[in-house]
Amino acid sequence: MSSSPLSGIKILDLTRVLAGPLSAQMLGDLGANVIKIERPGTGDDARAFGPPYLADSEGKENNNNSFYLCANRNKRSVTVNIAKPEGQEIIRALAGNVDVFMENYKVGNLKRYGLDYEAIRKINPDIIYCSVTGFGQTGPYAPRAGYDAIFQAMGGLMSVTGHMDGELGAGPMKVGPSIVDYMAGMNTSIGILSALYHKKTRGGAGQHIDICLLDTVIASLSHYLQIYLVNGKTPPRRGTWGNGGMPAGVFRCTDGELMLVVGNDGQFARACVVLGVPDLANDPKFAKNNDRVVDGKEIMAIFAGLMLKSKVAHWLGELEKAGVPCGPVNDLAQVCADEHVRARGMEVKVEHPFERSLSLIRNPLTFSGTPVTEYRYPPRLGEHTCEILSEELGYNSAKISELKVMGVI
């Protein structure tokens, strides 16, 4: 079997919470050697983000919770107090022998400790130093802190998400998961991989990568923001309605709901046949998608009435046979039980010291030649401190013990 795509790449990961750790996990999945730096005693802030927690062998909950577990597999954890000079020296020593340095501290914080890009570049001129922050390294908001929901609000995502005006509960709404963190994590991985390619295959130099959550969410608005840039009008909130073809949205059936997206005129005609109203496709008001989109309320109301005549399974089967895109509205239990999801192996099992068969979400990338096959459990706090300090820096047991007494590790 071929080696993993990033075998031989070494990453020093000083990121916390979600966006940065997700990216470092992605790179670890691809074979990079990721050394995660955590604060002694408390560790990554995500470890305190609430239940559920794993229980240890004595049944006691600990700092291995779901938020932390989702973003930290395939790493080794080292505890270092970077507020102490000895801790800063450990980070600098480790940085001298890595390809990538990742951090998500507030702008200027690491400079106080001599761990900013300019300081690390003096130690390792070829370093790829990636900073993940809420507002970026430049601009009037750069010093501010922030979390995913703040950027959903400030970046415009909430303004176009939620029930339509006039409906019960109308108003801006946050997307459920921390979607901006996830997208920023992907952008971080893309940036680091691009910089590695530039350096290793093009003979380029190391560089500083500036990943910003606000930039990320604005870019993610894609066609919504482009509408505003073209005509100066903000698209309205559309609830569960689709964003192109029409009719598209969640429709109630006799025993539940399904999501239907009619993407073109051919699909509309076939959907009309399935619903028992073939002549509707020839109605001048609905024959062309542009006409259906301009005033979607009427066609959505017609389809809503027709869908109420049968069960979800009936409509899904008939629409699928007709080649009309649709799907059930699944909860997470139904997602995990879905035969296709199971066939794709989206849930993987790893052996954890506190859970013999811990379920994790597999890496979504699928390679024919270099598949992701290794899933090592998210490390316990400081689990690899002695190992890394010994292997990477040559510290003996006496020095490691002294650093522990000093509160450095």
Residues with a known catalytic role: 181
As separate numbers, helices (DSSP H) first and strands (DSSP E) second, the chain gives 16, 13
Q: Concatenated DSSP letters for 60-109? A: -EEEEEHHHHTT--S-EEEE--TTSHHHHHHHHHHHTT-SEEEE-PPTTT
Position 25: which residue type?
Answer: Q
> What is the rounded end-to-end Cα distance, in angstroms, of the chain?
38
User: In this structure, which long-range contacts are made by residues 110-116, counting pairs with CB atoms below 8 Å and at least 24 apart in sequence?
Assistant: 110/14, 110/82, 113/82, 113/83, 113/88, 114/88, 115/14, 115/82, 115/88, 115/91
Q: At residue 344, what are phi and psi to the nearest 5 degrees?
A: -80, -10
Q: Where are the alpha helices (DSSP H) in 243-359?
A: 265-274, 289-294, 296-307, 312-321, 332-337, 339-343
Which structure tokens are listed for 137?
Answer: 């390294």
Enumerate the β-bridge partners of residue 386: none
Q: 281 exposed, middle or buried (CB, 10 Å; 0-12, 13-18, 19+)?
A: middle
| C-alpha–C-alpha distance, residues 291 and 298, integer Å | 11
Which structure tokens are listed for 17?
Answer: 């919470």
| C-alpha–C-alpha distance, residues 47 and 380, integer Å | 10
Q: Measure CA 154 to chain center.
A: 19
Which structure tokens are listed for 260?
Answer: 């239907």
Q: Measure CA 309 to chain center.
A: 39
- β-pairing verdict for 248-253 and 256-261: antiparallel
**CB-CB contact of 99 with 10 (8 Å):** yes
Torsion, Cα of 325, 330, 333, 335 (10° steps)? 20
